[in-house]
Amino acid sequence: MTQLDQLKSYTTVVADTGNFLQLAQFAPRDATTNPSLILKAVLSPDYAPLLHETMAAHRGKALDEIVDQVLVRFGLEILKYVPGRVSTEVDARLSFDRTASIARARRLMALYEAAGIPRERVLIKLAATWEGIQAAAELEREGIHCNLTLLFSFAQAVACGEAKVQLISPFVGRIYDWYKKSAGAAWDEAANAGLNDPGVKSVTRIYAYYKQHGIATEVMGASFRNVGQIRALAGCDLLTISPDLLAQLQADESPLARVLDPAQVPTIAKLSLDEAAFRFLHNEDAMASDKLSEGIRLFAADAVKLDQMIQQA
């Protein structure tokens, strides 16, 4: 068996791409998108007709409505290739606006439902700010399931669990990036690989906390830089993986052992966070504060680029 096949026996494999034509060869259950992946896809000649077709069908509508139509159109195409769920992201520029995030999420879901897709097959992605988490809590009560993204701190994970969100996406690779950059010339790659990778350690801690305390929120490791990070999280509820890394796993037939197991987790004290405690605890984590802010800026910048493409077409 390939390592991809072995991984699927422990973990739900999710494809992290807007390039739906690549999906069939890896047979993932779910797929995730974000503004950067959608922008990358629409810049490809393979997908330009889909973009222009969607724009033509909705010409004259407000720009944000057309953007949502484009996002959902990609989601609908992806759902033809995966049996499970697709994650579609709310505009990152709304990351600190609870009310607007809820409205945008409802509109995205309404578009999917109008196309005949049941709610169970869609996850609405929101940045794991305090406002995003509270928006997700309300949406979950309405039966709109959410994927909380740009998650870097333990505080974010605790708050998401308390909000009873469906799924969180801790960003393994971006955590790794921050620590590597911070260490500079002192960084020892071998000493910080595998189970010692700072991104892997973060996800492992969150996984253990959720399992120990019976928190139903799914943990989906994301943003991988190498297959070693993926192997070190075998057994995590889900892992969302880029096509390049999926291909590496598919080409490797060496044994892949399960690492994370809900029956074998360390004891971690239960926390309860109100807004003030959340903000303070998150702020105490310099890496998480930096990467959440940076992630929102980057996704917002790509959202602006997509807006501009639509306006100029």
**Within its chain, how far is the Cα of 192 from the centroid?**
23
Burial class of residue 279 in the structure, from the number of CB atoms within 10 Å of its CB (0-12 exposed, 13-18 middle, 19+ buried): middle
Q: Is 154 left (phi over 0), alpha (psi -120 to 50) or beta?
A: alpha
Residues annotated catalytic, as ranges: 125
- What the block records as the tokens of 36 is 């950067």
Whole-number Å distance between alpha carbons of 204 and 181: 22
CA dihedral 167, 138, 291, 301 (to 10 degrees): 110
Looking at this protein, which amino acid is placed at residue 249? L
- What the block records as the tokens of 181 is 């950059």
Task: Give the length of the chain.
Answer: 313
SS3 assignment, position 165: coil
Place of tokens 């010339």: 185
DSSP classification of residue 22: G
Contacts of 9 (CB under 8 A, 6+ apart): none
Dihedral sign of CA atoms 16, 201, 216, 90 in order: negative
**Residue 30, number of CB atoms within 10 A of its CB:** 24
- What the block records as the tokens of 81 is 């290739």
Alpha helix ranges (H) inside the chain: 3-8, 35-42, 48-57, 63-79, 98-114, 130-141, 154-162, 172-183, 198-212, 227-231, 243-251, 275-283, 286-312
- What the block records as the tokens of 265 is 């987790």
